[in-house]
A and B are shown apart, each in its own frame.
Chain A
């Protein structure tokens, strides 16, 4: 069956008003000239829509990420327009590709240099579990050295899958309590990785 032609046959009128995506306001109480809501929801909303990604790309998943950043998939739609290539400015570490054991301390150092709050996405089979490289030289998943928030499966994952992972992370970020990073449980998690 032929694919129905849907694209570019009826170009839309340019409309600068309704094409701009705006995040929905959190639940709250609205009156005339004021709006009240919880601070944590505002902070969550702000963090969610202004993630600064730090790409740590070592192999083919990095190529897929380049496609994700490009115009077609447009990673910038999610408020993550700007890649920061210094860990000190970024809060979303995206590990893409095989991490050799010798690379492990480097990755750990990059994670330690990021300031709180920080999140980690393991993109692809190698970063998540070592993938096909069940070998003496390859780290069997980056969660052996740093905590991971979202795993994206695939070898390599398509750009849609990476975007799905980012959206899953956005949900985590939105719902995260602003006190989470100070809790005992979080300190224990960091200590279990020997960080701090």
Chain B
């Protein structure tokens, strides 16, 4: 039987009820949301279920929505079923004051560096990660540059003080 978005949605709803929500299909790709405490349970179910078999983590990253109070940071998992060639997108939201999310490294080994990158740029604190430190930026950096409150421009320069340069 072909694995349709409708079927994935039904399986998830049977298992988790109202806790998985906001099902949408932008460009045909099933996208849904769950509470952040449930992220490992949902991922484990998607991995283990004999019909779903989402065994490949394509990508993991975060998005910062400063206007969404108490759910400023979204952590997005892109999952791939390699057998049926089906992709889905799974989001959890967390408050920026306590960006604590359970790590997916026990389930997907490739999540290790992706979570380090997400920590590096957005400051998402992955609980249980074996080696959560910066991966791309210099180690001395003391902020998370992809958060929207930090301007893109290098703030250490003093010679470009024009309004055009965002200083």
Chain A residues at the B interface, C-beta cutoff of 8 Å: 101-102, 104, 130, 134-138, 140
Residues of B within 8 A of A136 (CB): 137, 141, 145, 150, 152-155
Chain A interface SS verdict (over half): loop
B165 touches A137 (CB 8 A): no
Q: List the B side residues contacting A130 at CB < 8 Å.
A: 154, 157
- When C-beta atoms are compared, the residue in chain A nearest to B146 turns out to be A136
Partner of A137, one of B145, B156, B157, B160: B145
Which residues of chain B come closer than 8 Å to A140, judged between CB atoms? 154, 156-157
Q: Using Cβ atoms and an 8 Å threshold, which residues of chain A touch B153?
A: 134-136
Q: Which 7 A-B pairs have the closest CB atoms?
A: A136-B145, A101-B138, A134-B153, A102-B138, A140-B157, A140-B154, A136-B154
* Other contacts beyond A135-B154, A140-B157: 4, CB < 8 A: A102-B136, A136-B145, A136-B152, A140-B156
Instruction: Name A137's closest neighbour in chain B (CB-CB).
Output: B137
- B residues adjacent to A (C-beta < 8 A): 136-138, 141, 145, 150, 152-157, 160, 165
| B136 CB contacts on chain A under 8 angstroms | 102, 137
Cβ A138 vs Cβ B154 within 8 A: yes
How far apart sit A104 and B137, CA to CA, in the bound complex (Å)?
12
Task: Look across to chain A and name the residue whose beta carbon is closest to the beta carbon of B155.
Answer: A136
Residue of A nearest to B158 (CB): A140
Query: Can you list 5 contacts pairing A with B, beta carbon distance less than 8 Å?
Result: A101-B137, A102-B138, A136-B141, A136-B145, A140-B154
Q: B160 contacts which of A104, A134, A138 (Cβ < 8 Å)?
A: A134
Contact at A102–B157, with CB atoms within 8 Å? no
Bound-state CA distance A91–B166 (Å) is: 39
Q: In the complex, A134→B150 CA distance in Å?
A: 13
Residues of B within 8 A of A135 (CB): 152-154
